Amino acid sequence: MPLTAEAPPPRQDSADGASTAPLAEARRVSRRRKALRPYLLSVPAVLLCAGILYPFFLGVSYTFFDFSAQNPQPDVVGFENFATILASDEFWASARVTLLFALSATALETVLGVGVALLLNRSSLIDKLFERVLIVPLMVAPILAAIMWKLLLLPEVGWIRPIAEFFGVTGYNGTDSPVMAMVWAIVVDAWIFTPFVAIIALAGLRSLPKSPFEAASVDGASWWLTFRKLTLPMLWPYLLVAVIFRLMDNLKMFDVIFGLTSGGPGDATTTLQISAYLEAISYARYSRGLTYMFLLWALVFVISMILVKYLRRIQDRAAGV
Amino acid sequence: MGPTTETTTEPMAGPATSAPAPAKQPPTSGSTANQRKAQRGSATGLLANLALVLYFAFSLLPVLFIVALSLKTNAEQTTTYLWFTPTLENYQTVLGLGDGGSSYVRFFLASLATSTGAVLVSLLIGIPAAYAAARYRFKGSEDLMFTLLSFRFAPELVVIIPLGVIYQQIGLYDTIFGMVWVLQLVTMPLVVWILRSFFQDLPAELEEAALLDGYTRSQAFLKIVLPLVRPGIAAVCLLAFIFAWNNFIFPFTLTSGDAQTVTVSSLAFLGGNQVRFNLVAAGAVMAVLPPLVLALCIQRYLVRGLSFGAVKG
């Protein structure tokens, strides 16, 4: 056995006590090595983080320059980028669009997801069948989902126009109007990500204890009362995880909107990510684009900090009860 | 204890004691109530099934549509009706079967190479880090975990613009290696967070027992721990692959031809002066298939994977 070549593990003879000096020395060395071990294991990951944080901080520093494709030798301009962007109507318009999209899409996905999970939790035959199909949209690349929907919504190609006409809707024009462009962007996002909320809610529902529900049913509590007073509070720690993931993702959603409307018509669906993309890539005004991005990043960061802290409190409370 | 005390405590102990409830009602009215309840139950059950069917119609509509469109001929691509003679011509055109391969095949292979590379690098770096974070309490461990998590939530363009500048300078722009590196932003947080939750599920006594048996720490890890989390690692591999494959914004901004992936190239069919909807559809169907097939293999672990180990399904 190759194992015998190794020095005996210190734990094995700890019963003898620290009688001999070399043994104690060996133990001290091994303890130091032991203390060092997690750091050694993490070194590659830390280096990788550093490799990613370097461009991030480089990007943050660009926000204080007037760096663009036309101006490759940038000068320091201080907070000028922030001042002009925060004073511009475009920024506040896209901030509004970002929040409108993110909050509506997250709300729709949460409500639909919980609904689907409740329906699938009855575990009848039809539920088992549907559960397999449920995740299909979630595995489609968001950009491809956006393209699929773009074609589906095209009046001359897609099936939505005939469906709309069947239900008597006249003047269907796809994503041509500002309001409908936003509505469809939210629907497409919900199409992809409702299953995400649903499978997490379903896992939560299945882990809930049975006895409170049996008791409520014996008491003759209505379905709505049971849902509001029992299911929802107990499900909340699970649901919150899904909501946090969805809100963070939707605040920075790029693929769905870019693929579906590219921010149009006009600036009806121009979120901060789209604005930053237009500034930085299309117009090659890197510093301005990065300032947009940094402001969005700060928003996402603050919201995620608050939500994660809240989640921990909820989870601690759930574990304590 | 007399009957008086029993009646006073009854409302309090209501949920636990089921016996008094039916006793109060005469048996006849109880059975009609049950019948009514059962009737209402079947009605709501029907409504529930209807709601489910509606949701799944919504869920599958775009998929069915895109498959149908991909089978239509040029003449029929701008029609919305369902009855047509299906053809595989579009798939042949996209794959360039007649004329010795097409750029789509190259993009497909680039997707395969970048995604596989990204997963391998993430595993190599991520497994030790995940194990350290699960087993040891050490300074900076949580900082590392949350730095990784913040990558998941940060808007990608914050990194893309400076990275594009750096990549142009050091020649990593539009290379497979450059993409593997940048995709770590997507795959690494996933791998570390999910694997940590798998490592945490194993009792620490397992390694302690192995140490007592004379194994070294690394032997205990390689021979005892690693085989036990093998299903977890497999699931993480596939999920990370799916995420890397489905990513759009990184290849879209940091490649232009050689390392371009299928997600980007599917947009290209939409450009130009003559849009071929049926080719777009055929390209999209083929790009969607690999992640879909892989996802069906790891459905058991999907909840835990997608929630970064926060919810154990």
The predicted-structure confidence for B30-81, as pLDDT tens digits, reads as follows: 445 555 555 556 777 788 888 888 999 999 999 999 999 999 887 777 776 7
Domain tally for chain B? Answer: 1
Is residue A67 included in any domain, yes or no?
Answer: no
A64 part of a folded domain: no
| Residue written as token pair 């007037």 | A66
Q: Flag whether pLDDT at B229 surpasses 60.
A: yes
pLDDT category, A185, cuts 50, 70, 90? very high
Q: Assign A95 to helix, strand or coil.
A: helix
ipTM metric: 0.83
Cβ–Cβ gap A141/B61 under 8 Å = no
Q: Is residue B38 domain-resident?
A: no
Q: Write the DSSP assignment of B237-281 as a string of letters.
A: HHHHHHHHHH--HHHHHH-SSTT--HHHHHHHTT-SSS--HHHHH
Same domain as A92, residue A44:
no
**Which residue among A147, A277, A293 sits closest to B266, beta carbon to beta carbon?**
A147
Cα–Cα distance, B313 to B309 (Å, whole number):
9
Q: Is A309 exposed, middle or buried (0-12, 13-18, 19+ CB in 10 A)?
A: exposed
CA distance B4 to chain A (A): 21
In SS3 terms, B184-230 reads as HHHHHHHHHHHHHHHHHHCCCHHHHHHHHCCCCHHHHHHHHHHHHCH
Contacts of A148 in chain B (CB under 8 A): 62-63, 65-66, 281, 284
pLDDT band at A254 (very low <50, low <70, confident <90, very high): very high
pLDDT at residue A216 is higher than 80: yes
> Has residue B137 got a pLDDT over 80?
no
Confidence (pLDDT) at A25: 64
d(CA B181, CA B160): 12
User: Residue B136: is its pLDDT beyond 90?
Assistant: no
Searching chain A, which residue's CA lies closest to the CA of residue B250? A255
Evaluate whether residue B64 is within a structural domain: no
Residue A209 contacts B where some CB pair is shorter than 8 Å = no
What pLDDT was estimated at residue B245? 93
Please list every residue in chain A whose beta carbon sits closer than 8 Å to the beta carbon of residue B80: 156-159, 161-162
* Beta carbons of B260 and B176 less than 8 angstroms apart: no
Q: Which of B135, B138, B147 sits opposite A49 (nearest CB)?
A: B147
Contact B59, A134 (CB under 8 A): yes
Model confidence band, residue B22 (pLDDT cutoffs 50, 70, 90): very low
Give the pLDDT confidence of B80-98 residue by residue, as tens digits: 677 777 888 888 888 887 6
Asked whether residue A58 is domain-assigned, the answer is: no
Look up tokens 């920075």; give the residue.
A252
A6-45 per-position pLDDT tens digit? 344 444 444 444 445 666 666 666 667 677 788 888 888 8
Residue B159 is nearest to which of A56, A116, A133, comparing CB atoms? A56
B155 CB burial (10 A radius; 0-12, 13-18, 19+): buried
Tell whether A8 and A104 lie within a shared domain: no
Clarify whether residues A30 and A179 are in a common domain.
no
Structural domain total, chain A: 2
Place B1 in a pLDDT band, splitting at 50, 70 and 90.
very low
What is the Cα–Cα distance from B189 to B175, expressed in whole angstroms?
23
Do A102 and A245 share a structural domain? yes
Smallest CA–CA distance from A69 into chain B, residue: B165
Tell me, what CATH number does B185's domain have? 1.10.3720.10
Locate the chain A residue with the closest alpha carbon to B238: A139
Considering only residues B304 and A111, tell me which one the structure prediction assigns the higher pLDDT: A111
pLDDT band at A262 (very low <50, low <70, confident <90, very high): confident
Whether residue A59 is contained in a domain is answered as no
A252 and A309 assigned to the same domain: yes
CA-CA distance, A252 to A17, in Å (whole number)? 59
Assess whether A24 and A149 both reside in one domain.
Answer: no
Out of A28-42, A151-165, B143-157, B185-199, which region has the weakest mean confidence (pLDDT)? Answer: A28-42
Asked if A147 and B284 come within 8 Å (Cβ–Cβ), the reply is yes
A125 touches chain B (CB under 8 A): no
A50 touches chain B (CB under 8 A): no
Residue B298 reports pLDDT greater than 60: yes
- Residue B55 is assigned to a structural domain of this protein: no
B219 found inside a domain:
yes
Choose among B16, B161, B219: nearest Cβ to A289.
B161
**pLDDT over 80 at A127, yes or no:** no
B309 within 8 A of A195, measured Cβ to Cβ: no
Tell me, yes or no, whether A137 and A234 share the same domain: yes
Averaged pLDDT for residues B236-264? 89
Which candidate from B58, B212, B219 shows the least CB-CB separation from A12? B212
Do A188 and A312 belong together in one domain? yes
Give the mean model confidence (pLDDT) for residues B6-29.
39
Asked if the structure places residue A72 within a domain, the reply is no
pLDDT at A3 over 70: no
Q: Which residue of B has its CA nearest to A260?
A: B267
Residue A99's pLDDT is: 94
Task: Find out whether A85 and A91 touch, Cβ atoms under 8 Å.
Answer: yes
- Residue bearing the bigger pLDDT, A97 or A224: A97
> Tens digit of pLDDT for each residue in A280-319?
888 888 888 889 888 998 888 888 888 888 888 887 887 7
**Mean pLDDT, residues B9-37:** 43
CA gap B125, B192 in Å, rounded: 9
Residue of chain A with shortest Cα separation from B211: A9
Instruction: For chain B, say whether A215 makes contact (Cβ under 8 Å).
Output: yes
The pLDDT, as a whole number, for residue A166 is 87
Report the pLDDT value the prediction gives residue B306, as an integer from 0 to 100.
Answer: 85
User: What residues of chain A, 251 to 280, have a C-beta less than 8 Å from chain B?
Assistant: 251-252, 254-255, 259, 272-273, 276-277, 280
Q: Rounded to whole angstroms, how far apart are CA atoms B100 and A259?
A: 30
- Looking at the domain assignment, is residue A61 inside a domain? no
User: What is the average pLDDT across A49-65?
Assistant: 86
Residue B246 lies in a domain: yes
For chain A positions 26-45, those within 8 Å of chain B (CB to CB) are 35, 37-39, 41-42, 44-45
B302–A238 C-beta distance less than 8 A: no
- Put simply, the answer to whether A143 touches B132 (Cβ < 8 Å) is no
- Angle, CA of B69, B74 and B76, to the nearest 5°: 60
Contacts with B292 from chain A: Cβ below 8 Å: 136, 139-140
Answer yes or no: is A70 within a domain.
no
Contact flag A126-B52 (C-beta cutoff 8 Å): yes
Residues A34 and A102 in one domain: no
**Chain B residues lying within 8 Å of A204, measured CB to CB:** 311
Domain ranges, residue B245: 102-306
Look at residue A247 and tell me if it is in a domain. yes
Residues spanned by the domain of A39: 2-49
Could you tell me if A26 and A96 lie in one domain?
no
Best mutation site among A30, A144, A229, A236 for testing chain B: the one with the most B CBs within 10 Å? A144
Partners of residue A202 in chain B, C-beta under 8 Å: 303, 313
Note the pLDDT of residue B236.
92
**Same domain? A32 vs A89:** no
Query: Per the domain annotation, does B83 fall within a domain?
Result: no
Mean pLDDT over B235-258 rounds to 90
Which positions in chain B touch A53 (Cβ < 8 Å)? 147
Tokens of B73: 């001929």
How near does any CA of chain B get to the CA of A320, in Å? 17
Of B15, B214, B281, nearest to A3 by CB-CB distance is: B214
Minimal C-alpha gap between A56 and chain B (Å) = 5
